[in-house]
Structures are given as C-alpha cells and as structure tokens.
C-alpha cells in the first residue's frame, strides 16, 4: 500500500494500544513504526529486476519483524524506566520533558508486554496489508516459497480504505486531550477499515464466480487466473488469465447487474519465454510474477533487446514494470548486467473511462483500446462491433 495508508494504519494502532498512556504522541509513534518496513526502498541492488523483486523482502518478513519488535520493546521499556528514575529525582520541567505527570506515570507502568504488542502490531500489519495487494510480499523470508504472498483485495491506493483511517485519526487528534476518547476513535478506525477489507473479500469471491462463466466462453476456465481490484476502488475488478500464449482480460463490476463480462484475448510472446527463463533475471521475474509475464523483442537499428513485462501490475497498456533482460549478440541472447527498467509507452490515460465503467457496464470499456494491436487475438462482441 501507499506510504500514507501505512502511516495511518500504524498511527491508528498506536492510538488503540498506547493512546491512554501517551495521548497524541501514540499516533505519531505508531505512524513512524508502521512505516519502518518500507525503508528497504533505500537499498539499491544495482539491477532493475533485483530492485523490484527484492522489495518487500527481508524487511517485510514476519520472522524479522517479530524479532525486531522484541528488541524495540526491550529498548522502550528500558528508556521508560530511566525516564521514571530521572523524574523521581527531579521535576519533569527541570528536564525539559513534555510528558504530563499522568503520562509519565503511564510510561513507567506500561510493561514489556504492552510495549511489545505496540511494536509488533505496528510492524507486522504493514506487510500483512501489503500482501492484500497484487505486488506480492515475502512474508516468510528467509524460507523458500513458490512465490511472494498476494491475495489482492485492494489496489495499492484505495481512497475509501485510507479515508476510514484518516477520519478516525482526525477525530483522535481533535479529542486527544481525552486519552480514552482518542483510543476509542483510533479503534473505530481500525474496525471500519477492517470491515472494508472483509467487504472486498466477499466481492472478490463473487467476481471469481462471474469470471468462471466468462472465461469458460474462451476455454480458459481452468487456466491460472488473477483477480484484483481495478485502480482506486473495489467497485470494479480486473480478471487476468493465462493459458500458454493466450492472455485473457475481463472487467467485472459490482454494479454490472446481469450484463455479461467482455473477455478480450491477447498474445504473450511465449516463443521468447525459454530464452528469458535461461537468464537469471528472467527466472527471478517469473518467480515474482508467475505466468503473468509478456515477452517481446525490441529492435532499434541493428540492435535487439529481449524485454519482459509484468502484466499484473498497473492496467492493460499501462504496465510500470517493463524490463530489458538481454541483448542479441552473434545470434545468441546475452544477459544485460544490469537489467534496465523501461518507461511506460502509453499515450492515453483511461482514468475517466475507468470511473464510468465502475458505475455502469455500458458502454463497454475495451482494454484493447490501450494495448498495441500486435498483441490482439480477439475481443467480446461489444468490442469487436465498434
């Protein structure tokens, strides 16, 4: 999820766990701790594929974060004890401390368990929320798993989920002079945002059932599929399926009524897949994205480069993770070191059409309009008739 949402989630957890003891400071502490796992973006692995596929790695591991929470809890408990000892020797004002006497007493009596619960919840909910997006999160690092954990329930930016937390935090800040009220407001924010995720889970199950019928029309009901929210809302969902070289896309809206989903078919360039998988970067990308990768050759003059695109992320025609993996030399593909991430080449932006499609299935939103025609295999009747 985006940084604002992760900070808001951490702040709400901080208020729920420590609000009675630290007041408004609990919100700030939670926001800071809840943002720590994303500091791995500062690491440059020197390679485009590595930078993308190692993000949400060790810093998002439940094992690593649980261990870190124990260390931080011990340090916080020790610091609280030292502050209490100094307060006992001199008035707090003489030390320049901003804690009220009641809050100072609360710090002294928090206990190691509550400190650990605060740090642990703020840290582990960050990767758990990330795992509910498409990108994938390595929750079990360093254990070897088949792929990063991903059960997409929300887009990486979901205004409704974030707004539930932000409204609760505004109330908590406004009523922060009453610690019990602050704690209740933060807790209600967590309850409402969690209910939103449960609503998204139910919607995803309904979309999966609708997708069965749609994909069966193109003999892909049994093919590997990915169901994820379209950008910014759970009202519209994108279903992607892969069967060999065929790649299917369909949009299913919660407000579609009885309208049949339109299925559009594209090529994946699998004639180049073996060459890509012979490369370390190609295997790493396949581990990261599964079968949802498209391959192509880019020609510039006499130079040829092997490109791979992660079809999961973004939207058809607007995929941000597109890489140059190799270049052809004397008829053979030679790995590029380092690999390169290429900019999106889309000239249109479908946000307006996406919003209209969320509210109504007509007119049909044809994703083929945004995808280069060389990838097209066919579309549903509503798209072919245009």
**Nearest Cα to Cα of residue 266 among 374, 349, 380, 346:** 374
Report pLDDT digits (tens) over 10-30. Answer: 999 999 999 988 999 999 999
For the packed helices 62-89 and 112-130, what is the interaxial angle rounded to 10 degrees?
150
Least confident of 76-90, 166-180, 252-266, 357-371: 76-90
> Is residue 105 over pLDDT 60?
no
Three-class DSSP category at 217 = coil
pTM for the complete prediction? 0.90
> Is residue 97 over pLDDT 50?
no
Q: Percent of the chain having pLDDT more than 90? A: 72
The per-residue pLDDT for 102 is: 40
**Rounded Cα–Cα distance for residues 226 and 238 (Å):** 8
**97-to-72, 90, 112, 359 alpha-carbon distances in Å:** 21, 11, 22, 54
Least confident of 148-162, 167-181, 261-275, 369-383: 369-383
Burial (CB < 10 A; 0-12, 13-18, 19+), residue 57, is middle
**Rounded Cα–Cα distance for residues 64 and 192 (Å):** 29
**DSSP structure string for 116-144:** HHHHHHHHHHHHHHHTTSSS-B-TTTTS-
> Is residue 278 over pLDDT 70?
yes
**Rounded Cα–Cα distance for residues 335 and 297 (Å):** 14
């Amino acid at each position: 999820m985006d940084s604002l949402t992760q900070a808001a989630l951490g702040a709400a957890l901080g208020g729920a766990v420590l609000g009675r003891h630290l007041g408004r400071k609990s919100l700030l502490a939670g926001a800071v701790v809840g943002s720590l796992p994303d500091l791995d973006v500062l690491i440059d692995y020197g390679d485009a594929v590595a930078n993308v596929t190692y993000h949400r790695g060790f810093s998002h591991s439940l094992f690593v974060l649980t261990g870190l929470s124990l260390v931080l809890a011990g340090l916080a408990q020790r610091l609280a004890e030292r502050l209490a000892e100094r307060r006992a020797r001199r008035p707090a004002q003489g030390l320049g401390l901003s804690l009220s006497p009641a809050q100072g007493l609360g710090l002294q009596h928090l206990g190691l368990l509550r400190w650990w619960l605060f740090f642990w919840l703020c840290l582990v909910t960050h990767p758990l929320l990330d795992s509910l997006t498409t990108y994938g999160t390595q929750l079990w690092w360093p254990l070897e798993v088949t792929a990063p954990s991903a059960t997409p329930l929300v887009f990486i930016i979901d205004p409704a989920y974030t707004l539930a937390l932000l409204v609760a935090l505004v109330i908590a800040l406004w009523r922060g002079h009453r610690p019990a009220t602050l704690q209740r407001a933060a807790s209600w924010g967590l309850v409402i945002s969690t209910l939103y995720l449960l609503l998204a889970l139910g919607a995803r199950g309904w979309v999966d059932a609708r997708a069965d019928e749609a994909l069966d029309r193109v003999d892909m009901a049994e093919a590997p599929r990915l169901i994820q929210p379209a950008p910014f809302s759970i009202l519209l969902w994108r279903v992607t399926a892969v069967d060999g070289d065929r790649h299917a896309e369909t949009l299913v809206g919660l407000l579609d009524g009885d309208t049949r989903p339109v299925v559009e078919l594209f090529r994946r360039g699998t004639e180049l897949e073996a060459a890509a998988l012979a490369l370390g970067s190609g295997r790493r990308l396949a581990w990261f994205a599964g079968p949802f990768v498209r391959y192509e050759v880019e020609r510039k003059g006499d130079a040829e480069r092997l490109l791979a695109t992660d079809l999961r992320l973004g939207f058809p025609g607007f995929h941000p993770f597109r890489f140059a993996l190799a270049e052809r030399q004397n008829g053979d593909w030679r790995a590029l070191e380092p690999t390169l991430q290429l900019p999106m080449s889309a000239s249109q932006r479908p946000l307006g059409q996406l919003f209209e499609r969320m509210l109504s299935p007509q007119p049909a939103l044809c994703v083929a309009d945004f995808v280069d025609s060389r990838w097209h295999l066919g579309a549903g009747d509503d798209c072919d008739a245009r």
